[in-house]
Structure 1
Amino acid sequence: MTSPVPAWVVHRPVLVPAAQTACLGREAELRTMRSMLAKVAVGRSAIVTMTGELGVGKSVLFDATAELARSMGFAVAVGHGARLETHLDGGVIRQLADDLDGADVDLRPDRVSSLESFYRLVRQAAEKRPLLIIVDDIHVTDIWSMRSMAYIRRRTTDQPVLIMLGSTTGHPPAGEVSLQELTGCSAETVVLEGLDLRGVTELLKANIAAPVHADLAAACFDVTKGNPYLLHSMLGALRARFGGEIGAVTPTEVHELAGTDIGEQLRVRLRPLPGCAEIVRAVAVLGDEATVDMVAAMSGVDHTQALRGMDALVRLRILRNSHTVSFRHPFVRNAVLHDLPVATRAADHARAARLLADADAPDVQIAAHLLQARGIHVAWGLDVLRRAARAAAHNGDLDLAVALLERALDEPLTPDDRLAVQLELVHVEFLGDSAKGMARLREALAHADDVRSAVGQAVTMLLRACTAHEARLALSIGLQVQSRLSSQEKDEHWELRAICYLAAAGNDLGLALRASLFTEELEAEVPDDPRLRQLHSVIMSLGHALRGDSALEAVRYADEALAGDRMDVFVQPFVFTLSTCFLVDAPELSDKFRRMIGSTSEPHDFHLRKGTVVSLAHGMDFLAAGELIRAKTLLKWQMRLFDELGAVQDCPMAILCAARLTEVLVDLGRVDEARDLLVRSGFAGELPELFQHNLVLYSRGKLKLATGDDDGALADLLECGRRLEASAVDSPAVIPWRALAVRAYLALGQRESAATLAKEDHEMARQWGSPRSLGTALLSIGLSADDEEAATRALLKATEYLAESTGRLQLAEAFFELGAQLRRRGQPERAIPYLRRAVELSAKCESQPLIRLAGDELRACEPVTAEGTVHGLTKQETRVAGMAAQGLTNRQIAEALFLTRRTVELHLSGAYRKLGITGRTDLAEALSQHRAPQSG
């Protein structure tokens, strides 16, 4: 099968024999042509225009129609317009006359007699048999020929003449006559589209000996949209690249193919259209996300002219008719790029990268052009390549990350920058092949000229490490760099050890335990450098918090650390978690901490956005203070961002956020939502033994305790404690797991175990010395004590300590437990003030479970007469009046009794009337007067 006559090139006035052509996929169009021929054969004239994009196959269909017409007894005359012959007046009419045996007829242009001669020639032919006249590419036909066609059209309406005119969609006419002016309003129009998927498949099968799989056909259709000429060009490219293995070509390989001739032909074809060739080149280089402004800047064409050019290219169906500027056929874009010389194309891509960078395009788009700009120095693009490589690595595209970093190494870099890029390449290769990564690490460090520079890069890698896998690599880098430091480089050695310590302490149990062995060593060495002394204060503060030996010392050193310039270590998950734990009861230091971690610079952790860590700190401060709704708002928003990044199971900050949000939801009473969060995050089953998962175990234990799964709660909490003890991080300042485990033991009826654990917690809290930890431990003592008097004293002391902390919800719980204890001992009058405070505080915290429990206890404290009323008051009126007399507001009463405020107001009005008083101030005295006889 021969290739169809391409519309991309200039037609020669020679008709390809129909026997050599095939109209695969054009059965419907051929049926239309047969129907038109049949109508004309019985004496009805007609005119048909056939339009379609460049290369869609109009010429092939005209050839098949001519052959069909001849088989039906028609005389056929065919003429071809040509761009190079538009100045030759009468050229197309001369072609038609030759087919009509009118070689000797005088058809000289600009003569009325010539028009009449051509008309007589057509009429004489039509009198003998039906006549088909075809003019292909009428839009580039000379003016005299178009005038002659218009002349005969109006005079052959009573003859069996079918006139078929072919025109390229969107192509401007060569002269002043438009196609509509030539055909009038009576013409039939056939719009020729590309082949459908079935047609593409048939064409491929006819040209490929091997079986054609569906994916190959779909890919060919996708990149050519069924354009026959492009398909034949693609087949040529496939044969040139894959030989006889075309049947096994993948869709990706198809999308990368480029024709060898289309780019040049398109340049020639677009030459008459001002600026269009330059626009096509600019769009090809910029890619599918190009904008009008960037295309204009890239092409060097005036903005107004660029708009006109893009309009023309859309009408020619070279560009898509869409809001973005892109090619209709990806194969054409590949061809245009293939047509560019290598150096020119690289320079164009470098320019495109600069334009995209100036437009604040995403790094991945800019880096894609920088990859293609090899040989062109783009020093400004180094950071873009590194950021894009980091994103690619975290998205799992390691090959792209390697390519980007290797492209960065092509730039003339400083020794520091070269080592930094090499270590980032080590990181990427380590993720794919640990042995290969370690080999490259040894090579990179062996060629490092400046050991101090290596220290700085190692510190950066340690700060950037996110997952446990990355942390182990970063630690390996740090240890290898340490081994190269001399005894004179004490500060550098100390800094690297300190950062390695922080990375290890927040990792798995083995590394965390090893890190704990270096705590005292790091604390004993005080560096000379002021910046490192600030880091030393961080280590000292954390050391006290981890050991739980002195809250005062931990806070003092934290104050020193926070007094200096911003330090990146504060945003490391391990430091961040511990700091937020023991700074919550030092509000002024919490404010300093948030200011310290707030920064406009990009976070080290890829999963973090600017402001994420500050928002998490705020959320946890609100949780610690019992401001549950505000905590939920902040943590839930950050959780949504982590979900979008797919970071919840890997990023320590995301795991921390999920754990704390679970706690908030449990305290709010939204246990179903908390359970869904843990399941969705993958935290419902076994958890890795990493530090951040201790927080998940704690929050999961809290959820199970709230939902009645006491065995499951105890198992999670004890496992949390085991892991913390194993890593030598067991302090009430970190995770107060013992307090919840005491409640789980009590729920299971194991009071002795609860009392033992409560005493242990109390001893540790006394050593740590913060009001929150002491109050929490004394609350556990009071709950687990056998002696009621001792329990009451412990609970009362717990309220005193917790009142000194910021923990309003813990204080509300202590008031509730104290009130409940007094009521159970038969002292409801003493219990009421504490329960009232519990309702008040829990309502401010909006903790629905605690509001309900405290409300139930308050109702249980109500005095009830034999008749169930006081001085004619109903039982509900008695409850409401009693709580109002105790000082609760209408809102607090409504929340405690699950009533509306309006209902509370109605009950109070009824009580006032029955008691003969005018308002709330007289309630206590009125109720006491009516209760006095009952007690006597």
Structure 2
Amino acid sequence: MASASPAPVVLVGRSAELALIDRHFDPAGAGGAALMLTGEAGVGKSALLDAAAPRAAGAGFRVLRVAGCPFQQGVGFSALNQLLQPLADAIPALPARQAETLQAVRGLSEEQPTELLAIANAVHALVAHVATGAAPLALIVDDAAWVDRSSATVLGTLAHSPRTGHLAVLGASRTGDASFLSNIGIPEHEVRPLDDASADELVAERFPAMAARVRRRLIAEARGNPLALLELPVPLNSLQHTARSTLPAVLPLTERLKGIFSTRVAALPAPTRKLLLLAVLDGSGDLHVLQRALGGPDPLAGLSPAERAGLVQVDAVTGLLGFRHPLTRSAVLDLSTSEERRWAHQALAAELPEGSEHRARHLADAAIGPDDRVAALLHDVAYGTLRRGDAVGAINTLLRASELSADGTAKARRLAEAACLGANITGDLRNVRALLDNADHADPSGTDSLAAATAAASQLLNGEGDVDTAHRLLVGAIDTHVRPGDTDEDILREALNTLLMVCFYGGRPELWSSFDTVVARRRPPSSGRLLPVILGAFGDPAHGAPAVLDRLDDLVAGLHQQTDPVRVFGIALASAYVDRLPGCRGALRRIAEDGRDGGAVALAIQAQFLLANDAWTGGQWDDLLTVTAEGLRWCETYDYRLTASTGHFLQGVVAAARGDGDSARGIADRLVSWGDPRGLGALRVYASHIRALSALGDSDFDTAYRLLRALGTPGEVPRFMPHALWLLPDFTEAAVRTDRYEEAAAHVAAVRKTDIPSISPRLAMVTDAAEAMAVGDFVDHDLFEAAIHAPGAERWPFDWARICLAYGERLRRARAGAAARTHLEAALATFDRLGAVPWSARAADELRASGIPVGPVVSDGRDPHALLTPQERRTARLAATGLTNKQIAAQLFLSPRTVAAHLRGVFRKLNVTSRGGLRDALTGPVP
């Protein structure tokens, strides 16, 4: 039984080269064909030859391989013997003289090989004999420039002779290296480096866990060289692979890469290598900097050997020095000694101004032991790095500053600050405890505790949800903190931001009251000008937003220029409940992308959930589920359990709106069971919102009213409950549909009194609709029309469709059937687009009642029975037996009004109009 042909080798980004190889080994045109692949070392020529062998075999060729070797260049006929060995059985069939010649070449005869022409003729005869009447031959020659001279002469004539018959030769050689196929008219094809997309695909395939930002750096350094792409990741540790630690300025080389890139550097004169080392560590390419650092009468004289070797070039326009290949920089650094590198760093630092970041970093790299002066400089650099958006770089700089700190208190402080930034920004909750333990070991007295307290509070809050302990830690530390320098403003900012989230998730007025007290006692940092905006628009938007909206709008407008991720997040957070998130999308996506790259993951999680928040009000619910799924994966990976609650809530309201009652209830139950023992009031509000929305979709208005009434008193808009702005239409509908018109009107009046409608067009729209609903059976056309035609109403499709539904219901009951149908059809179409199945069913039911035939609302191919909630199923079964609503209510411990609501939902979902029809629908076959 013949063995199966090997599967063709697939090479990333080499489809054009593989197509060329397939054409080259087309048996119909292969006679006398030869082709040389050229290219730089590591570009993938050997990989293409490896891929060519099975492709040639698959095309019917007998494949022979020869490879040049630098250690056998002086051994005569060493390469030719690689060709003759697999053909040895055919040699005796040649004429005696030619056979003897080839056996002598093989060292199997006492005769010495004759002149090269006779050997070449014998090889030609052997190839013609083997190829005659059989498969054509494919000769693949790798590293042609290293083939020994005698073999090269013979193989060159073989490749260029038309007398060889069915022979196709494919060779490979480095660009610029002379080989046996050079200058004899054989076609050449230069193998180019991979393009960026193919390079990214190759690295992602081989190193799937590598962060995108690390891949981009490697791709830039490798410049499409496949060997470099696969070798550069090898010396990096796992933290560097995932961007949890900063990559070195110059990447280290493996031994394979050193063999390629170090040879020409090692051959340079010592003064030239010294100059190149300065250029590598400086990184600017400014010849004036190099000239000053070197000193002497002609410091740049050593540049010429490197230029002649093709390693560097000076741009004629900018006058800047550049390396022709980035990995030459690595080779220069690899060939230098530690003493030479320290000298270079010191020389460069001496030429840079006091206070510059580059000077501080050069001094740090030149240090060989603790140096408090340099550590202080590096400490300042860390926060400049943070404000530019590189949180990981800032933390690594703080850690380096701690290593250089001789003073235990300063060392502990910098370790604690690294822990604080890690917990709040980069997502390093798992490393917080270790860093704080190291800080405590460096300074057991813990005199500067704000950073440590903030880090510990973040871990308690985000990991355990322990708001009370986190609150005590932060309030005490902020009260006793003394700020000796500007960088302490960043830590105070983080402390206040953490305390803000403690108050939000705690959801208790007394926590917010203590926050106000702390802020009043402590002068906020200069960056804290954002804090009043966050407090007004996010902490208590119902009462505080109108006063800060102008400032917030200015901040949102400038987000495209903002690089500080903490500030971006603060502005977006302030926008969450006041409908300014659309203006924050671009900035939030930048933060999310940075998290995917291994940057500020903690902020990226929050950014994802804010984007999902925007997607909820904007009706982009499928996008919401995608975004929250990614954020929740990060939460699980980095142990952000409390933060995950926001993502779960957003998934829960979508499940409720789409009629997935089981998922909605499951999410709400988990939020309550985890949040209540920890005093997390925000999670209780989240759960109530999910449950109430699910109940409203199912027309269970009693349950919805009970859930929402527990969150506040009608006629009052609670302070420090930002979520109240999302619940206005839900409470109004629940109150009206349970005949509590006075409570609904009182609630709308309170909303008007606090000027909530002025916050955003959406809130004005839902307030007008709520007021129109709260006036009993009277149809307030003006308010409904104002709500439906509010500017930009299409941006909030779910809210708008609910208003259309409410207006259509009122119009139908007022016997304005034609007008009702217009609004009900608009509501149905929008609900259908959103996948809001229960709401589509309500709209369809109203349309049927107005005389428009509408089929049963079914989602995703499910039968109508599957749309019933467990309570509806129980109610329907009892109703099908003939029990009255009052009798059913007594058995299920419900009010007759709730039973009636359940039955309305059942009739609508099963498309029946009577109890007899209900009995048939429950006992008959499923459609």
- Shorter-chain TM-score: which interval? 0.3 to 0.5
Say which structure, 1 or 2, has more relative contact order (CA 8 Å, 6+ apart). Answer: 2
Computing the radius of gyration from Cα coordinates, the structure with the larger value is: 1
TM-score (norm 1): 0.41
TM-score (norm 2): 0.41
